[in-house]
A = this chain, B = another copy of it.
């Protein structure tokens, strides 16, 4: 396997995996790069190039084996094992995350939930006992987790993330609308709808300007 695979390619692999899993559930045996490209909005050439980073999955003119490609992508993405997650922050957003049914089938288990609000600590949310965030670091040292999901108010995000990474958490999914820092070697992904909206309004504004500009 080559050492440097572009991040944009890596970001597409989970999307391939999801589509192929669904095809496998529907008992599809073979899929062409043409069909994958149409479903995902990229060219067949891009599909072939992306998958070629990981070995030779397809036979010329015969398409890809759905079963084999799904299985390989599953291993490449690290989904051949289960991952332990902790969720910090159980406000409205945290509750939506805790109740999301899409994590567990993909190998992601939320094993503990934390908050700072005395009114919710020791209550149960979607089957999770809510623990006191002041005990987060100590608990993680006893019961390590792989990934932290942060759904606290922006002003607390950095402090919570530092507690998580100091206790050995290696990956952070940050829902708080704030730029945060993690130590070298810790993975960080952001989920932020305003950032996504602004990326689209940038383009929409430019289109509007070019339409209203005088020709020539």
Q: A102-B194, A179-B40 are in contact. Are A14 and B78 (CB under 8 A)?
A: no
Interface size class, chain A: 35 or more
**How close is A151's CB to chain B, nearest CB, in angstroms?**
9
> Which secondary structure dominates where chain A touches chain B?
helix
**Contact partner, A189, options B76, B171, B196, Cβ 8 Å:** B196
The answer to whether A106 and B179 touch across the interface, beta carbons within 8 angstroms, is: no
**How close is A178's CB to chain B, nearest CB, in angstroms?**
8
**Contact partner, A199, options B19, B83, B189, B198, Cβ 8 Å:** B189
User: A133 at interface (Cβ–Cβ under 8 A)?
Assistant: no
Q: A96-B93, A102-B194, A194-B108 are in contact. Are A200 and B181 (CB under 8 A)?
A: no
Copies per assembly: 2
The answer to whether B14 and A194 touch across the interface, beta carbons within 8 angstroms, is: yes
The answer to whether B179 and A196 touch across the interface, beta carbons within 8 angstroms, is: no
Residue of B nearest to A93 (CB): B96
B-chain residues with CB within 8 Å of residue A204 when the two chains form the complex: 78, 146, 170-171, 187
**How far, in whole Å, are A179 and B100 apart by their CA atoms in the complex?**
18
Residue of B nearest to A14 (CB): B198
Interface string of A153-188 (1 = CB under 8 A from B): 000000000000000001101000111011000011
The answer to whether A96 and B106 touch across the interface, beta carbons within 8 angstroms, is: no
User: A29 at interface (Cβ–Cβ under 8 A)?
Assistant: no
**How far, in whole Å, are A16 and B184 apart by their CA atoms in the complex?**
21
